[in-house]
Amino acid sequence: MIHQETRETVCRLHAELVRYNLVAWTAGNVSERVPGEDLFVIKPSGVSYDELTPEAMVVCDLQGELVEGDYAPSSDTAAHAYVYRHMPEVNGVVHTHSTYASAWAARGEAIPCVLTAMADEFGGEIPVGPFALIGGDDIGKGIVETLTGHRSPALLMQNHGVFTIGGSAKAAVKAAVMCEDVARTVHVARQLGTPIPIEQHHIDHLYDRYQNVYGQRSHL
């Protein structure tokens, strides 16, 4: 079986989605680009998280066509493929319908930068992408258009859920975990009042320190 190492990584990271309570049933998926090749590994469609093994993962080309695997690729494969085709610096993509972040998506509302952890990880708000139907390139296009030139490695696709990108699948999973975490905290903050925005120059300083000085390139 080819690309065993990437298969193992992607399989292991799906368990993280379960561990952090980001997914229900078979929703959610992780993919990672195969180093040096125009291929990526992604979760098979409709297989339960308990049954995922490295061998069950599927390998697709950057058009989203199946190259190797016993199962059909995830129904979100076209979106992942579009991102890999248009964002060469991205090596990992994650999609979830995690509860709090998806609640912001349901309102089509960006999560404002009101926590220093958000400034660190996302460099500002977590933006909203357009409403888009699954199947063609619309979701992928919405992700690329919204995140290009944006610091945030995460976005909320309106009425849908979270997509994150990273320099590795692990970085994209981290962004998905952090996205849900701040979505929940800011939601709770809203219940009793108005969260206080962080001034832009403070956001810039925090982001720069965390991404460069602190030495934790979280999404690249």
Q: What is the dihedral of CA 44, 50, 55, 56, to 10 degrees?
A: -20
Q: Which residue's CB is nearer to Zn ion, number 123 or number 161?
A: 161
CB of 120 to Zn ion, least distance (A): 27
Tell me the residue type at 25: W
- Which is nearer to Zn ion, 97 or 205 (by Cβ)? 97
Give catalytic status of residue 201 as yes or no.
no
Catalytic-labelled residue, pool 3, 80, 160, 219: 160
Give the separation between CA 126 and CA 124, rounded to whole angstroms. Answer: 7
Least distance to Zn ion, CB of residue 189, Å: 26
Tell me whether residue 92 or residue 161 sits nearer to Zn ion (CB atom): 161
| CA nearest neighbour of 83 among 150, 145, 132, 129 | 145
Token digits of residue 39? 């291929």
- Closest distance between Zn ion and the C-beta of residue 113, in Å? 25
Is 208 a residue of the active site? Answer: no
Q: How far is residue 145's CA from residue 82's CA, in Å, rounded to a whole number?
A: 11
The catalytic position among 3, 14, 95, 219 is 95
Place of tokens 């979270």: 162
Amino acid, res. 149: G
Annotated catalytic residue 160? yes
**Closer CB to Zn ion, residue 112 or residue 161?**
161
Is position 120 annotated as part of the catalytic site?
Answer: yes
Instruction: Return the closest-CA partner of residue 14 out of 28, 4, 25.
Output: 28
**Which of the residues 120, 138, 210, 219 is marked catalytic?**
120
Token look-up 């297989």 returns: 47
Q: Which residues in 155-174 contact Zn ion (CB under 5 A)?
A: 161
Residues known to be catalytic: 95, 97, 120, 160, 214
- Contacting residues toward Zn ion, per CB under 5 A: 161
